[in-house]
Structures are given as structure tokens and as C-alpha cells.
Structure 1
Amino acid sequence: MIRALMFAVVLATLAACAPPPPSSGDEVQRLANEIQRLGPDIDPEEANRAARIAYSYTAQLVQEYQITDPPLIHNAKVNKGRRPRGLCWHWAEDIERRLDQEQFRTLEMHRAIANADNPFRIDHSTAIISRKGESMYEGVVLDPWRYGGLLYWSPLTEDTRYDWVPREVVLQQRRQEQYGTLKPYAGG
């Protein structure tokens, strides 16, 4: 069991150190176009604004989180108190909060978690942007943690690296598991 865990840690570390996907052209415009493709009623100005903010706010968070290392090394620094923030759920929470401030009429934000039921992999959180009223499964993943502060994005259906589950579902499952381990109150 320990060997399997060590092997999983080595693989996760190597994956975290992998180079980011190659950039070509104007990435902000490519993301805006992808968001626009979410539906014919998406406001082009909102799609452009969401893409600009996703990239600029990621760059701002890189500075605030003091990112200088690959994600798993940075995670260790956060967990030891040597960095303020920068775990995947911090990125997801902050990106979601910032984009929600825009009060988009045609877009909405979601949160998702992957690997929650896999004992050999670390949970991973992300933010997802979708057409207003659609589920996260029709949205675009916004994941700045994956490449240590370089924004990864993809339609959720094309992000084969992770099996995303709505955050609410994962948290509800965890609450039910915790309730199952509680002993009945015998107070008086």
C-alpha cells in the first residue's frame, strides 16, 4: 500500500512539473470565443470581459499568492505557512468570486471537484463558467492552479485529465460520511 502511495505521489509530482500547453495567438481572444460559443444568447461583451478578467486576475493572484514553484511544491509551502494562499480551492474560490462580481446576465459560475473519491490522488478544485441556466457540464473549465499560475481552460467535456463533479455533490457526500461516523448523543 505504501509503495502504491509513493508511486502515486511521484506521478502527481511529475505531472505538476509538466510544461503548460503551448500558447498560440491571442489566448484571451481564444477564451472569449470559446465562452461565446456556449450559446447564441451569450453577450459578446460579457464573454470578452470574462476572458480578460480570467487572465488578468490569474496574473494578479500569481503575485498575491507568491507563486514561484510548481503547484504541488507551492501547496506544501502553503500548508507549512510559508505562502499565504495558492491551493487549488483558493484559485477556484477567488476566480469564482471575482467573476461573480461582474453580475453577468448571460453567464454564470460553478465550482467542481475531481478525485474526491480516489484515495491515491489529491482532490482538485476548479471554477467553471457556463451559459446562464446551464449546468457546469456545458461550461468551460478555468483552472489556473494546474500549471502554477498559467490559466488552463477547456470545455469541460474536453478536459479528460479530471472527472469533475459539482462541488455541492462532493460536500454533501462528505457531510453524510461524517454524520455516519458520529455517535448518538446520550446527554442528559
Structure 2
Amino acid sequence: MSTIIAGRFDQQAGVEEARAELLRAGFSEEQVTSFYVNPPGQHDLTPVGGDEIESPGAEHSRHGLAQGGVAGGVVGAALGTAGIPVLGPVGPLVGAMVGAHIGDLAGSLSEMDDDGGSGNTAGLPYRRSGMLLAILADDPDAEDRAIRLLRALHAQDIERAQGTIANGDWEDFNPLQPPSLVDMH
């Protein structure tokens, strides 16, 4: 494994300009790679798509689902009982079913984790989507040059990682691994 310096760009044109500058600065074509990073939750890492088999926070929403369904069913049955003159003997049953569904929805929504949609419940920095340009930096001087160039070219979220770039591909890139952002001072 080697040190990799990477920066995110919003546009392909920015990546192409940065790649050209890195090659002019002495980095070889084999040391530089670029690719698009999907938004959190859309990395297609499981057989059914997405990043995880179950969405983060689903455990909490199931808990709220059960509580909301029971409470909604009781309230709905009570209201359905009042509707016996209109609905007949099925009033409490219809009321309980409708109330349970409304309670399920309210309960699950109230228990969901508020993580800004990132799936990141640990409060760690997460990798934002966009074009990622990564440079294999095999020594401290190469690291410094890559960081300076990415800063000058307005790369965002410049990070340092350990990994392998071979044949123009960051082979062990993990989109779910929180980035180790480089101090921008």
C-alpha cells in the first residue's frame, strides 16, 4: 500500500485540467486516476443495490412503527366505535385498521435517525459525491506537490489515504470509508 492524495471536483472539466497539471508537474499517467463517487447510499455494494442490506436507522423506525401502530389501533378502534351508527358493527375494525396504519407512519417517522440523509450516524466526515481525482504519492515530496496542486486547482475535500493505484485504477477504494481530510491551512 502507498499514500494516495485525492481531491473532489464538481465538474469533469476540473478533473481534466487538474490531470493535465499533475502530468506537467512530473506525475506519470499510471500515478493518476479519476472516477465518479456516487452519493451516500447509492454505491451498489449489495446484491439488491445500495450500500447496506438495511438502511441506517431502520432499527429505530421499526421500534416506532410498533409503538405507533398499537397506539393508532387503540385510538382508531375507539373512534370506529363512535361510527357504529354509520358503519355498523365493522366500525371499530375499520377504525382500528386505519388508525394502526396512520400510527405506523407517525411512529416510524418520529423514530428515524436525523443524519442529514448521509447514513452517517457516527458523526464522522463522509465522502461527498462528485469526481474524485487520486494521485499515487510515493514520497513526502510527491504528497506535498499533489496537495499544493489540488489546492491551487480548487479541489474540494482533499484527503490522504492508504491504497493501491494500478493500471489507472484505485483498486482498493472504499466509498464508505470516511475520508481523512488534509488540513487546508
Query: What interval of TM-score do these two structures reach, taking the shorter chain for normalisation?
Result: under 0.3
State the structure with bigger RCO (CA 8 A, min sep 6), 1 or 2.
Answer: 2
Normalising by structure 1, we get a TM-score of 0.24
Computing the radius of gyration over CA atoms, which structure comes out larger, 1 or 2?
A: 2
Bigger proportion of residues as strand: 2
Normalising by structure 2, we get a TM-score of 0.24
